[in-house]
Amino acid sequence: MRRLPAGGDIDRSRPLRFRYDGRALTGFTGDTLASALLGAGVDVIGTSVSLGRPRGIISAGLEESSGFAQVARAGATEPLVRMSTLPLYAGLEAEGGSRIVKGYLRDGPDDGRFDKRFAHCDLLVVGAGPAGLAAALLASRAGARVMLVEADVVAGGALLRDADTVDGQPAAAWVSNASATLHNSGTLVLTSATAAVALDQNGMIVAQRIGANRAVSEAGGLPEQRLWHVRARAIILATGALERPIVFQDNDRPGIMLTGAARAYLRRFALAPDRGLVFTATDDGYRAALDWHAAGVVVPGIVDPRAASTGDLPARARAAGLRLFAESVVEGTSADGSGRLCTARVRGPRGVVEVECDVLAVSGGFEPTLGLHQQLRGATRYDARLGAAVPATPLPGQWIAGAANGCMTTRDALADGARAAREALRSCGIDVPGTACPTPESPALLEGAHEVIWRVVAPDGDESRSFVDLHRDTTVSGLVRAVGAGIGHIEHVKRYTLVGTGVEQGRSAKTNAGAITASLTGRPVADVGTSGSRPPTEPLTFRILSGRAQGPMYEPVRTTALHESHAALGAIFEPAAQWMRASRYPRAGETLRETVHRESLAVRGAVGIVDVSTLGKIDVRGPDATWFLDRLYANDVGRVAVGKARYSALCHLDGSLLDDGVVIRIAEQRYFVTTSTGHAATVVEWMEEWLQTEWPERRVWVTPVTERFSTIAIAGPTARALVARLAPAMEVGNAEFPFLAVRHGTVAGVEGAQVARVSFSGELAYEVSVPWALGPIIWRAALTQGEDLGVTPYGLDTLQALRIEKGYIIVGQDTEALSTPYDAGLGWMISAKKDFVGRRTLDRRASQRDGRQQLVGIAAADRETCLVEGCALVRAPGESPQSIEGHITSGCWSATLGRHVGLALVAGGRRRHGETLYATLGDSGAQVTVVDPVHYDAVGARRDG
């Protein structure tokens, strides 16, 4: 194509330099990348995916199946950007070649900013063509909150390429007036915005290109792209119609495009061929020839498979002296050395003629765009007149208008848009009487003047160059092979031939693929149908989906009040259920094992302190609090005295463990309950669920208080001495303050501190809870006043080692989804007297069966073997296949015992102590011995100091 000296919506006074495949080129402000390339004489934009054939631009909009480019951005690269809707900007750098069908990603971060926004409106109109504009205008005049989204760079749709007038104004002028009216009335109009995903209840995900459509230097603070989450009371899908190509031999040559594209390039971008041939099965296709002719382009003819049409447009063509090839088809083409179209072979009733042309405009007719409707499984039916699917009934809350609804003329589309708006507004309680709508002046298109033609059979029978899907290089031969292999269902044909699997979901290939499959299998087209449309309608980049939720913004990070104190001690942190917890406090030159070794021995030999503020804490109170906790916890909460604590567990209705924790009775009907770190929210929800759904008459209040208290455990044989110093007024002797007792008093000057004799290490231990912000006071005081006692801060690694040595489980780690308290060795806590959630299932034989996966301890046979969590346990090493006896749930280096120990779930494990099993580690497996879960201090002598 070449640029005409005048015309078009481009600004010739503002040329833009850009690069394509390394070539320096120039276009104009107002161009798209596609039009700029055509204007710069780049007809061959790249090569096809599997056959490597030269390809060119097919369309001027959303039908595009060939023109995609890899676009470089500052610090990033975007694959497969559609050239026909990418505005040209200064310095644009794009790669074509094989990149038109194969994009790539670059390693490293993408520095571009991507945003999300939420929007709510009465009416969302998708598509700003005649129907969408008519609908939005009517609705905004009626006072509704309207949002209009358009995938193309500008509003207008088909009006931009048609010579029609609307309300007495040229179509393009009417469009810009309508846009201004909408803007002034507060309607949100988004362009370059694709309605990508239709959600239930009238939700829509819209992906808008903003900065990405501008030079990086001109994007200012704008995000590259923005993802809109829209909720509307009503939605109008005015998504228009796409033009369908016709399949014939060598129909993929650069220079072959759709008739609508030929007109758009002429009218919007002042681009014209030297000799433009038209091959159309509809009257509408004649417009391209007439427009070209009016612009002074040589039109060697119009090829029409129908008998001479009597419509307005063919009459005008005849009057203009254009040559008509009636009852004729293009059956093949030839190309020059670079692959560009040279001639078309036209077969008619009087034989074949070779027609010279550099552009061949093709139209197989227009078909509704129904991807969004189909995403929510909206029904369609086959319309034989259009040779395409049309909507059967819209989904609730939605209306389909204009060409998407089968109204293919400007007049019908405008009227249908207004109709849809009236109906949609009525559903929102806004009544707009009357039937007024914008009135166009447009040529009459004859009803039934359309002959449906999908494919011209190749004269030599070779259809390996008759392309159905240009993006995927699917040919008629491919469909023949699929059908020959016995494949008939269109979804199977799609997967066998890859037709319609490109980034554009084969939008302009689908109907042809279905229809040709139908003809190959001798079935009606309506029965074969087309492959479905799936979300998103356009490919979305991962970056627009992630938005700002990456790096530190990916997830909130929770830190305890002691975080700075840990950091000051050189702590290494690890994430635990959104919390950052101190793993260990290494000294200079220490290895991981040396640190854990030192910290462990300090707790077992002297005293250690650990931050356990992340444990979930729940305040449960109310007249029925005791009754309520008795119904949820496995042991007799009601028998816990005030000022005492009890270790207990929660079960699901099926008897499986939900969580364990300590229940502290603060007062007669007031409890302080702890949960595991990872289950804090779950347990609160669990309590609320039972209170609300089963026992609404019970008066209990459940309050999560995890972040109200900092909790520090002081553990070790000299813990008592340290607590005595910290809380001089508190009786801390074993008789006055026994195991599982809870006291309140002043600790390190903090009044009202709660001190509980509970232990997760097996050592004498006191858990001190104080108001969250005061945690550091206790921590610092313990470090200072315990210095001569050898007080050692310890982290999660040591905490794990100590609890594994003692066989203390973590629910969810040392249990499976089906593990019961019996399986976990907690059968002792189950009350014999009362009912609780899970009890009924636990009483069944199946819950206590011998062969269940039961908690055991395991000890490695040698000093070198780490017991890795999740590792399978088998009877013999190296044999396969064999049954898996169980798996390791926790493992650690035990400084106290001088070897690796762990916990495991093993089938019937409780009866298998002493047995040798093999962990599937290394080539030969590692020998382990099944032992009691309590590796250390089996009689529990150490907890009282």
Which positions lie near other proteins, rule CB under 8 A? 199-203, 229, 231, 396, 653-654, 685, 688-689, 692-694, 696, 840-841, 844
Identify the residue whose tokens are 């269109």.
Answer: 490
List beta partners, residue 704.
618
Q: Considering the complex, what minimum distance in angstroms separates the CB of residue 835 from other proteins?
A: 9
Residues 864, 787 contacting (CB under 8 angstroms): no
Close Cβ partners of 387 (under 8 Å, ≥ 6 residues apart): 244, 364, 365, 367, 450, 452, 454, 511, 515, 525
CB closer to other proteins, 427 vs 841: 841
Crossing angle between the packed helical segments 796-805 and 592-605, to the nearest 10 degrees:
60
CB closer to other proteins, 655 vs 775: 655
Q: Considering the complex, what minimum distance in angstroms separates the CB of residue 199 from other proteins?
A: 5
Q: Considering the complex, what minimum distance in angstroms separates the CB of residue 239 from other proteins?
A: 21
CB closer to other proteins, 692 vs 880: 692
Q: To which H or E segment does residue 412 belong?
A: helix 410-427
Q: Considering the complex, what minimum distance in angstroms separates the CB of residue 623 from other proteins?
A: 20
Residue 707 has which token pair? 């972040």
- What does the DSSP assignment read for 54-115? EE----SSTT-SS-EEEEEETTEEEEEEEGGGSB--TT-EEE-BGGGT-----SS---S-EE
Q: Considering the complex, what minimum distance in angstroms separates the CB of residue 761 from other proteins?
A: 34
Say how many CA atoms lie within 13 Å of 396 toward its Cβ. Answer: 2
Nearest to 945 by CA among 679, 766, 682: 766
CB closer to other proteins, 653 vs 938: 653
CB closer to other proteins, 218 vs 688: 688
Identify the residue whose tokens are 């209840």.
Answer: 201
Q: Considering the complex, what minimum distance in angstroms separates the CB of residue 844 from other proteins?
A: 8
CB closer to other proteins, 489 vs 840: 840
Residue 291 has which token pair? 């427009």
Nearest to 799 by CA among 872, 892, 889, 938: 892
Residue 467 has which token pair? 């392309």
Q: How far apart are CA 669 and CA 637, in angstroms?
A: 11
Q: Considering the complex, what minimum distance in angstroms separates the CB of residue 840 from other proteins?
A: 6
Nearest to 509 by CA among 791, 653, 8, 501: 501
Q: How far apart are CA 430 and CA 433, in angstroms?
A: 10
Q: What are phi and psi of 46, to 5 degrees?
A: 170, -165
Q: Considering the complex, what minimum distance in angstroms separates the CB of residue 232 from other proteins?
A: 10
Q: Considering the complex, what minimum distance in angstroms separates the CB of residue 654 from other proteins?
A: 5
Q: Where are the alpha helices (DSSP H) in 428-538?
A: 476-484, 490-497, 510-521, 525-528
Q: Considering the complex, what minimum distance in angstroms separates the CB of residue 701 from other proteins?
A: 12
DSSP code, position 932:
-
SS3 letters for 786-853? CHHHCCEECCHHHHHHHHHHCCCCCCCCCCCCCCCCCCCCCHHHCCCCCCCCCHHHHCCHHHHCCCCE
Q: Considering the complex, what minimum distance in angstroms separates the CB of residue 843 from other proteins?
A: 10
